Amino acid sequence: MKFVLLLSFIAFSSQLAIPQLSGAALTEYVNSVQTAWRAATPKEGVEKIMPKLMKHKFVVENKEEDIVEMVKMAEADIPASFDARQQWPNCISIDNIRDQSDCGSCWAFAAAEASSDRFCIQSNGTVNTLLSAEDVLSCCSACGDGCDGGYPIEAWRYLVKTGFVTGGSYESQFGCKPYSLAPCSETVGNVTWPDCPADGYSTPACAHKCTSTANYAIPFKQDKHFGSTAYAVGKKVAQIQAEILAHGPVEAAFTVYEDFYQYTTGVYHHVSGSALGGHAVRILGWGTDNGTPYWLVANSWNVNWGENGYFRIRQGHNECGIEHAIVAGIPKV
């Protein structure tokens, strides 16, 4: 009985050792207890300038029956570092950072971004375009709750069954169905966007037609790009690396804690702050920084956040669940 009580006390004490802070106090604490990454306090408060997250229910560990090992590779053959931007520099999507605005559409963004990369890679550059996050966000009823979040694997299954049309950012109006939600509560370059809606954006209505203001010339049905398979990726680091090396970037979902909002540079690991929701992103490489292995990740919070829109997160520890919820697919070209 004394032993059980001692274990309970130790567990309780360890929880007390990590203060649950916010704002400037959280920034100061994060920067004082570790040097792997740097935090900064947003000037106007986290809630006003950061996008809506997905509901927690959409961050789920991959089921064993969904995992497909598409490629096997000896760990000795996996390079110590890799960057898809350098490996496939002619693919216009790979070094493209988008802005999901105040909508929990990250699951659709990461699927559209990674599938765009994979079409270019699989076709040796003959299909070199940006696929539409709006198409899957607004029209995939089986994917989840639109701007409140969705299941990444279902976005890839939608690519197989229904396909994605082309579409880039709101600012570019590229392709058949560019994103219809403007950036908000931020200044990017020389443009200051209006404040975000008080309750975030609602999911755009589904439109089975091209919506570009640039009068896109290719008809909607002819603009569809389809996948041939959709699958979950194994949870081991080497499996994830082999998948990226063979087929291109992947989509990952993870839990966002309050300190992640304050990330500016370095190799992120959770230090303090409450869990706020789920987020989906695109992993495009890996490396090591001062002896710490990391994943190289593209976010969808525009280029002002993090390392010009990218971030690095600790590898091999399933940090915030990121290594246990990775999905991808093979395009049909």
Query: Is 206 labeled as catalytic in the residue annotation?
Result: no
- Catalytic choice (106, 120, 184, 196): 106
Say how far apart CA 122 and CA 142 lie, in whole Å.
27
Question: Which entry of 225, 247, 270, 279 is annotated as an active-site residue?
Answer: 279
299 is catalytic: yes
Name 5's Cβ contacts closer than 8 Å, sequence gap at least 6.
none
Locate all alpha helices (DSSP H) within 127-229, ordered by sequence: 133-139, 152-161
CA angle 184, 262, 271 (to 5 degrees): 145
Tokens of 153: 């694997």
Using DSSP's 3-state secondary structure scheme, residue 319 falls into helix
Cross-strand partners of 188 = 191
**Residue 128 among the catalytic residues:** no
Looking at 120, 299, 302, 320, which residue is catalytic?
299
The pair of structure tokens assigned to 58 is 């959409």
Q: Is 321 exposed, middle or buried (0-12, 13-18, 19+ CB in 10 A)?
A: middle
Q: How far is CA 329 from the centre of its chain?
A: 15
The catalytic site residues sit at 106, 279, 299
